Amino acid sequence: MAGGVGSRFWPASREARPKQFLDIMGDGRSLLRMTFERFLKVTTADKIFIVTNGKYQAQVLEHLPELSDNQILCEPSRNNTAPCVAYTAFKLQALDPEANIVIAPSDALIVNETLFADNINKALAYTAETDALVTLGIAPDRPHTGYGYIQFLGESGNDGIYPVKRFTEKPDSETAKSFLQSGDYLWNAGIFVWRAETVLKAYEQYAPEIYALLSQGMTCYNTPEEQAFIDEFYPQTPSISVDYAIMENAKNIYTIPAQFGWSDLGAWGALYQESIKDESGNVINAGKAITEDVHNSYIRGPEGKLIVVGGVDDLLIIDEGDVLVVYPKSREQEIKALRGKAEEMFGEKFV
């Protein structure tokens, strides 16, 4: 899934070139490219499909030249994740009635990619033989309030795969602490594994409006008529996440607790946490920088521009040339609202 805007990564992430197309980690690869290469440990390039907004089709091909046009699913509108997952399932089932699918975001960071591939292959083997909807859960290491949580039944597991009792969306701080202490909750990483047939049965039961709309295109998928059908019917689907539409309702949900080092890189603070820091606790992603008495800060600047910072602590300093953001790291969640304020005051030029 590569259709989001990444508004909490503003001003680096923009409507015209969002987060998944950026070299956020500084290794010369976009997050989308990193995700693609990660899945080459599981399958071949011809079996990797990208769901994105239609306006990003050319950028996807620029970053992933190995793909054909039929491997890029172009959404005409942003309707959250439930419609895009259903669209993918219908399209892949039309290609292969036995299709077994991994759904994953394009902008997450995975540290141990070998262990990640092992977990994915375990889930694929399980869903190939069962009517299970499997999600990879991340063992939490702190009471994070920005993630959804999965409660699993640890005593009922089978070879490291456990039934799911319930999903809980982003909890408050005290609830998150109780989840961590209980030991039977995992972070919801938004990585799902299931057969197309299995998940489409779930849509038919729990999200009938999405199923009714997109099932009308059965004769169109993987033909020249596909995009015209999607352009007409996809915008009519309700805007809802696959978590709310399917995962909170279905009974055949299982999870694999995973420890491959994961971050959803949802905001600048997450990137700071996952990056190598200097002796003062700073992360500096700028070609030229001078710092004096600077601690625990993230500094990003364009190539060729000298950034000079002194006497500050716990700051985000993001210079994208036309937009400079200087903001407390502890208040990073406010950046999305700042992006909206910039659009309101100055138009779309800066977003």
In a domain, 99, yes or no: yes
Contact criterion met (CB below 8 Å) for 314 and 331: no
In a domain, 182, yes or no: yes
In a domain, 43, yes or no: yes
Task: State the residue range of the domain holding 280.
Answer: 275-346
In a domain, 144, yes or no: yes
- pLDDT averaged per 10 residues, the chain (length 351): 91 93 90 97 97 96 96 96 97 97 94 94 96 93 85 82 89 90 90 98 98 97 97 97 93 92 87 93 94 97 94 96 95 92 90 88
Residue written as tokens 């978590």? 243
176 and 324, same domain (yes or no): no
- CA-to-CA separations, 218 to 95, 230, 266, in angstroms, rounded: 11, 11, 35
With residues binned 3-state (H G I as helix, E B as strand, rest as coil), the percentages for the chain, rounded to 5, are 40, 25, 35
pLDDT at 21: 96
Tokens read off for 232: 């007409």
- Of 263, 298, 315, the last residue of a domain is 263
pLDDT at 349: 84
pLDDT at 148: 87
133 and 249, same domain (yes or no): yes
pLDDT at 77: 95
In a domain, 211, yes or no: yes
CA atoms within 13 A on the CB side of 133: 24
Question: Cα angle at 253 between 251 and 254, to 5 degrees?
Answer: 145
pLDDT at 141: 83
- Residue 110's domain is classified under what CATH number? 3.90.550.10
In a domain, 245, yes or no: yes
Please report which residue ranges of the chain form alpha helices under DSSP H.
31-39, 57-63, 81-95, 113-129, 173-182, 196-206, 208-214, 226-233, 242, 268-274, 335-346
How many domains does one find in the chain? Answer: 2
Going by C-beta distance under 8 Å and a sequence separation of 6 or more, which residues neighbour residue 39?
48, 102, 104
Predicted model pTM = 0.90
Q: Could you tell me which residues are beta bridge partners of residue 307?
A: 289
24 and 83, same domain (yes or no): yes
In a domain, 13, yes or no: no
pLDDT at 20: 95
212 and 285, same domain (yes or no): no
84 and 222, same domain (yes or no): yes
> Regarding beta strands 50-53 and 72-75, do their DSSP bridges make them parallel or antiparallel, or are they unpaired?
parallel
In a domain, 4, yes or no: no
187 and 296, same domain (yes or no): no
254 and 281, same domain (yes or no): no
36 and 156, same domain (yes or no): yes
For residues 49, 51, 57, 61, the Cα torsion angle rounded to the nearest 10 degrees is -30
192 and 44, same domain (yes or no): yes
